[in-house]
Structure 1
């Protein structure tokens, strides 16, 4: 007879089975303690999303009696009125701005206005350079040009180089429905604001749409109600940005 083949013991009687089982139990226990569940051990840990804390509400502003009158006349919130009263501003513009100097000075007592009838966009870089050399170019620069013709990209680029990235530029877009360059001007202003973080559009074109009584017969220069709305919009835009 041939030699009998030695049979292996049943699986559960093998020492290797029990050693493996003990190791598995230890691992499962560690996973349960460390992760809470086996599924937590087998799957990657998910971190809870921490919600950002809401921004604190601005503290209530106490206005002087004069400031309250200004806020009511120009329909400006208290916070925007208070900011406008202390903000150093340089305003560069054409005849539209020249006409509303009294309103600008009521809302922005620290404004320096440089306006001229018939002014064109190409003059802007030189004006800004002169004001800067004189120490008169404030932290906030307001521009209102476009009544007399469209801007050129090169002139806008030169102006922004003079102003620099730290000053804030508030560009009032144009309401000249009788002129073909209105859309061209406003498109370039929008693009300039998108490309430069320190440039903000004051959207006078949208606000004034349909308000024919705000304008003189030429549909460009402002009556009293239009001047109030114009300056009020500027103050609110500056407070938002």
Structure 2
């Protein structure tokens, strides 16, 4: 039997498994999990982490590490921004917000600008890069990461990029076969440790004449 013919069953099985995982996630779209730290200060709201199905299983552990976390399967960036709009309306925004989004739709400069405008100049926005395998049809791999890196250069001190996509390439054992979701406790712990080990910030950017954020 030719070598390629021997590989075909394995390739077909791998493709079928990826499709099965994607279908299972799609069937659970909208399912949410949220948690807050037990000893949260009412005066200083904990850092808020908003994410999709990648964050979903890490929510309880993040809460134990002092974060408020909210994961929803199939969540898009627009839905994450809706949470920030509601928090801004209620005047309940924390000093830092972390967005783990981009696996279910693009992240644009307009999205990031809206998030910064909602947060204001005294708060920080952190963005996790989605893995290259999470891109939708028609999107180039790494497109979201490029937008995020550009935002960090445009608004240093206000935006920080946490390169989750690069880290997962070094730790394939953390990831499920689809390359997007976490594979059990090791992946969950890896994501939580990565979020908690936040690198230092750059000096803040000089804002517009009225103290607000402007499109580049």
TM-score by length of 2: 0.64
Partners of 1:122 and 1:155 within 8 A in 2: yes
Cα distance in 2, alignment partners of residues 104 and 174 from structure 1: 19
In structure 2, the partner of 1:216 is 176
Post-superposition CA distance 1:78-115 (Å, at most 9, x none): xxxxxxxx9821111111112211221222x2x22232
Shift of 1:124: 3.2
1:171 has 2:130 as partner:
no
Distance in 2, matches of 1:178 and 1:124, equals 17
Change (3 A) 1:135 1:178: closer
CA distance in 2, matches of 1:157, 1:198: 11
Give unpaired runs (5+ residues) of structure 1.
Answer: 1-85
Q: Does 1:149 align with 2:105?
A: yes
| Partner residue, 1:193 | 152
Structure 1: how far apart are the matches of 2:68 and 2:60? 12
Q: Is the 8 A contact 2:58 2:191 kept in 1?
A: no
Identify the structure with the greater helix proportion: 1
Q: Which residue of 85, 88, 92 maps to 2:46?
A: 88
Aligned to 2:206: none
CA–CA separation in structure 1 for the residues paired with 2:88 and 2:70: 13
Larger radius of gyration: 1
Query: What secondary structure sits across from 1:237 in the alignment?
Result: coil
Aligned partner (choices 58, 70, 76) of residue 114 of structure 1 = 70
Normalised to the residue count of structure 1, the TM-score between the two structures is: 0.58
Gaps of 5+ in 2: 1-43, 202-216
Number of residue-to-residue matches in the alignment: 154
Query: For residues 87 and 200 of structure 1, do their structure 2 counterparts lie closer, same or farther at Cα, with a shift above 3 Å needed?
Result: farther
Do the aligned residues in 2 keep the contact of 1:170 with 1:201 (CA within 8 Å)? yes
For 2:72 and 2:172, locate their aligned partners in 1 and report how far apart those are by CA, in whole Å.
24
Deviation at 1:122, TM superposition (A): 2.4
Take 1:148 and 1:181, find their aligned partners in 2: how far apart are those partners?
14
Post-superposition offset of 1:154:
1.8
The change in CA–CA distance for 1:103 and 1:181 in structure 2 (over 3 A counts) is farther
The runs of 4+ residues in structure 1 deviating greater than 6 Å are: none
| Alignment-derived partner of residue 184 in structure 1 | 143
Give RMSD over aligned pairs. 2.2
